[in-house]
Chains A and B, each alone.
Chain A
Amino acid sequence: MNALFLAFAYLRYHWARSSVLVAVAALILFVPAATQILLSTSERALVARGDATPLLLGSRGSQLDLTMSALYFSDERPDPVPMAEVETVWDSNLGVPIPVHTAFSSSGFRIVGTTLDYFDFRGLSPVDGRGLSILGDAVIGSEVAESLGKGVGDTLVSAPENLFDLDGVYPLEMPIVGVLPQTNTPDDSAIFVDIKTAWVIQGIGHGHEDVVTAAEVASGTAAIANAAVVQYQRITPDNIDSFHFHGSQDGFPATAVIVVPNDTRSATILKGRYLDSEGPTQLIEPAGVIQGLVDRIFRIKSLLDAVTAIIAIAAFAAIGLAVFLSYRLRAREVATAVKLGARKGMVLRLLAAETVTLLSISAGIAALGAIIVSQNAEAWVGWLLSLGS
C-alpha cells in the first residue's frame, strides 16, 4: 500500500513523463486489440453480406468489382448488364432476379435503382414514411438521413454527372418518401429509387422538360442539394405521365442482377447456364468472392501483426530504457531509503509498484478504448465499408 502510495505520488508529480509513458504503452496495447476487433467485425460484416446474397449476375469481368458495386455500392463500375438478363431469369422460373443500378450518386451517397423485391429480399421496411411507389420517389438509408439531416418530405438532387449520355441530362430532383432503419450494412448509406428513376437520371427516360431554372434556385423557391447544380428536372403529378423511355427495356442497363434461386437445385441449374467463359455474362456466388477478399485481407493482417509486434518490442524497449534511466536518476532516493531503515526489497517493491501502476493505467485506457471500439465496431465497419461508395 505504501509502495503504491509513493509510486502514485512519483508518477503524479512527474505527470508529463508519466503521461507520455502511459500514452505510448496504451497505444501499443490498444492498436493490435482495436485492429483485431475491427478486422473480425469487418470479416463478419463482409461475409454476412456475401452469405445473404446467394447469386449475382453481371457482365463478364472482375468478380470482385461486380460484387463490390452490387453489394457494397462502391465506386467500381463494372460494365452494365442488359435488362434482358432479368427477363431470362424470370422466364426460367428458377429464381427471382433483382436488378440493381448503382451508377449515380447524390450528395456523396450512392443512388441505387432497383425493384421492390430488393426491400423484401433484404427485409427492409421504412421506419418513417413509405416505400417506393411512383417514379422519382426516393427511400434513404439511416446514415444518409443522419448525415444530410434530411427526412420524409425533403428532396435530394442527383449529382450532375452522366457517364453514358454525353448530350447532357439535367439532374433529377427526388422527393424523400421513406427512411430505412439502421442495419449497419451498406444499405444505411444508400439512396434507393426505382430502377426506372435511375434510368431517368441516366437520360434514357425523360418527360416534357420541366426544368427548375437558375432563377428559381436564386430566388430560393427551389430546394437544392448540390451547389454545382444550377438547373434540374423535377417529376410532378402534372408531368409524370409525360415521362417515357425510348427503345426496348430489354436493352436498358443495370449494374448487376441479384438472383435469389428457388432452391439449391435451381441455383445449380442457373450456375450451369452461365459457365460459358465466352458468354457476355457471368453468374457468381458473392460469398466465395468475399471469402477470397477476406483471406487476402487476413494475409495482409498477419504481415501487419508482425510489424506491430516489432514496433511493440521496440517501443517497450524504449519504455524500459526510460524507466531504467529514471531509476538511475533516483539512486540518491534509494540510498536515503536504505539509511532510514527501508526493509529489504522495499526499493524493488517501490519500483515494481511504479511499473505496475504505469502498465495498469495503460491497460485500463487500452481496455476502455477496446470496449468503445467493440461497442461501435458494427457501425464503424458499416461506415468504413461504405467509404468510397
Chain B
Amino acid sequence: MITVKDLKFGYAGGGFRLSVPEFKLDSRERLAIVGPSGSGKTTLLNLVAGILTPKSGDIDVDGTKVSDLSDAERRRFRATHMGFVFQDFALLDYLPARQNILYPYRITPALKLDSAARDRAQALADACGIGDKMDRHPSALSQGEQQRVAICRALVTQPKLILSDEATGNLDPDSKARILDLLFEQAAEAGAAVLAVTHDHELLPRFERVLDFAQFREGAAA
C-alpha cells in the first residue's frame, strides 16, 4: 500500500530533519508508529498524505507516486484514496453527525455525493452504534460518539488507507480500546490499511506491526 524510499524532509528555517531510508505498509495491514514527541510521526503522515512534500526520495501510495503529483493532484488523490482520523476529532460544530460524515463530499469535486454515499454513511453509522444520532450536532454527542462520527467520515469515501493521528488520545481507557477495535473492524471490512500514530503503548498489541520512529529523527524537535 505504502512504499517510502530514501525520504528526506526538513522544515524551512528549522533544525528538524527527517530521514527514512525505507518504510513499507502492506494492504490491509495495521501498523502503529510510536516514538517520542517531535520525532516526526505526524510529519510522516502528512508526507504520505501529500500535505507536505519531501526534499528528496519517493513516496508511493497504492501505485501512485504522491511525491511527483502537483498540489491539485495531491489534494484529489488524498480525497479519493485516504481517510483521516484526528485526536481532536475535527468535527464541525455547525453540522449534524450525518453531514459531518458526508463532509468530504462537500469540499471537493473529486467525490460525488449520491444516494450510494448517503446509504454508506448511514450503514457505517449503524455499524458504529450511532445510527440513531445522525441528526445531532457534535455538542450533543459524547467524546466516544464524536470519534465514531470521525471514523465514519474517514471510511465513507471507501479509502484504501486510513491515517490515524492519536485517534484515541482524548478518550478514556475503556473507550480507547473499543474505538480502536471499531476502527480496525470497519477498516478490515472496507479492505483498508491503517497507519496509526499513537503514544498509547497499551494499545500496541492490537496492531499487527509497531514501528519506533525515534530511529528516523535527525535534528531538533518539530
Alpha-carbon separation in the docked complex, A332 to B107 (Å): 15
Is there contact, CB below 8 Å, between B86 and A341?
A: no
Q: Nearest chain A CB to B147's CB is how many angstroms away? A: 14
With A13-B137, A346-B108 in contact, do A340 and B94 touch (Cβ < 8 Å)?
A: no
Alpha-carbon separation in the docked complex, A338 to B107 (Å): 9
Is there contact, CB below 8 Å, between B94 and A2?
A: no
Contact with B along A1-35 (1 / 0, CB 8 A): 01001100110111000000000000000000000
Number of residues of chain B lying within 8 A (CB) of chain A: 30
B93 lies within 8 A of chain A by Cβ: yes
Is there contact, CB below 8 Å, between B104 and A341?
A: yes
Alpha-carbon separation in the docked complex, A244 to B78 (Å): 103
Within 8 A of A (CB), among B61-79: 71-72, 75-79
With A339-B51, A340-B78, A341-B75 in contact, do A9 and B99 touch (Cβ < 8 Å)?
A: yes
Contact with A along B192-210 (1 / 0, CB 8 A): 0000000000000000000
B92 lies within 8 A of chain A by Cβ: yes
Is there contact, CB below 8 Å, between B84 and A343?
A: no
Is there contact, CB below 8 Å, between B94 and A341?
A: no
Q: Select one of A5, A333, A337, A343 contacting B110, CB under 8 A.
A: A343
Closest to A332 in B: B90
With A9-B95, A13-B137 in contact, do A339 and B84 touch (Cβ < 8 Å)?
A: yes
Q: Select one of A2, A12, A14 contacting B107, CB under 8 A.
A: A2
Is there contact, CB below 8 Å, between B104 and A340?
A: yes
Q: Nearest chain B CB to A361's CB is how many angstroms away? A: 17
Q: Nearest chain A CB to B91's CB is how many angstroms away? A: 9
Q: Nearest chain B CB to A122's CB is how many angstroms away? A: 61
Closest to A344 in B: B72
Q: Nearest chain A CB to B38's CB is how many angstroms away? A: 19
Alpha-carbon separation in the docked complex, A343 to B75 (Å): 6
Q: Nearest chain A CB to B132's CB is how many angstroms away? A: 21
Chain B residues contacting A335 (CB-CB under 8 Å) are 90
Closest to A343 in B: B108
Q: Select one of B90, B93, B106, B113 contacting A13, CB under 8 A.
A: B93
Is there contact, CB below 8 Å, between A340 and B93?
A: no
Q: Select one of B99, B107, B109 contacting A340, CB under 8 A.
A: B107
Is there contact, CB below 8 Å, between A338 and B84?
A: no
Chain A residues contacting B105 (CB-CB under 8 Å) are 2
Alpha-carbon separation in the docked complex, A335 to B42 (Å): 14
Is there contact, CB below 8 Å, between B94 and A14?
A: yes
A356 lies within 8 A of chain B by Cβ: no
Q: Nearest chain A CB to B75's CB is how many angstroms away? A: 5
A127 lies within 8 A of chain B by Cβ: no
Chain A residues contacting B94 (CB-CB under 8 Å) are 9-10, 12-14
Chain B residues contacting A336 (CB-CB under 8 Å) are 86, 90, 92
B103 lies within 8 A of chain A by Cβ: yes
Is there contact, CB below 8 Å, between A341 and B106?
A: no
Using CB atoms and an 8 Å cutoff, list the residues of chain B in contact with chain A: 49, 51, 71-72, 75-80, 82, 84, 86, 88, 90, 92-95, 99, 103-110, 113, 137
Using CB atoms and an 8 Å cutoff, list the residues of chain A in contact with chain B: 2, 5-6, 9-10, 12-14, 332-333, 335-344, 346, 350
